[in-house]
Amino acid sequence: MLHKEGNAKYPEVVSTQLNPKSISMAELYGDISVMTQEWTDGLAAQKLRTYAEMEGDFNRWVIFDGPVDALWIENMNTVLDDNMTLCLSNGERIKLKPEMKLIFECEELSQASPATVSRCGMVYSSPDTCNWRLIVKRWLLSLDRKDYPDLVIFTLE
């Protein structure tokens, strides 16, 4: 957003959003077909590989939006530590670039191990500080004034 507003201080961001709980582990990371013995990349592996192969001075974010599950998050431990490498079950390793970031957007971390939690930075937004009024106000401010000349924005206290 800041890059689009003409602020050269902030690099461009390319992002992908996934809900890891809405798909199977094979669909998330990849799997070997029992019939053909061929490897098929999962969504996370495919995106991380694509972003790792991209050239240019811009940030690449993969956003995992959904509940943290002990099964899928444990496979991220090698990505989250100093190795920054995703190890797939076919033996392949995808090395992340410094411009690549993983963001986990979840309600709670009760299913995550202490090892996983210690590898992540946490940002907590309470419902009191990030409520519907702020979202509506931001949306109203984003409207084009030419389309809504009589629009008056006021705060509800």
CATH number of the domain residue 119 falls in: 3.40.50.300
Distance of alpha carbon 48 from alpha carbon 86, whole angstroms: 8
Distance of alpha carbon 120 from alpha carbon 80, whole angstroms: 7
Q: Would you place residue 140 in the very low, low, confident or very high pLDDT band (cuts 50, 70, 90)?
A: confident
Which whole number is the average pLDDT over 93-120? Answer: 89
Domain count, the chain: 1
pLDDT tens-digit map of 26-49: 999 999 989 999 999 999 999 999
In the chain, % of residues over pLDDT 70: 90
Q: What is the SS3 string spanning 118-144?
A: HCCCCCCCCCCCCCHHHHHHHHHHHCC
| Residue 46 included in any domain | yes
| Residue 137 included in any domain | no
pLDDT tens-digit map of 81-99: 888 999 998 999 999 999 9
| Residue 146 included in any domain | no
Beta-ladder partners of 60: 14, 100
Please answer whether residues 96 and 53 qualify as being in contact, where contact means their C-beta atoms are separated by less than 8 angstroms: no
| Residue 131 included in any domain | no
| Residue 106 included in any domain | yes
Distance of alpha carbon 115 from alpha carbon 1, whole angstroms: 33
pLDDT score of 95: 95
Distance of alpha carbon 51 from alpha carbon 32, whole angstroms: 22
Go through 74-91 and write b for each residue having 16 or more CB atoms within 10 A of its CB, e for each that does not: ebbeebbeeebebebeee
| Residue 109 scores a pLDDT above 70 | yes
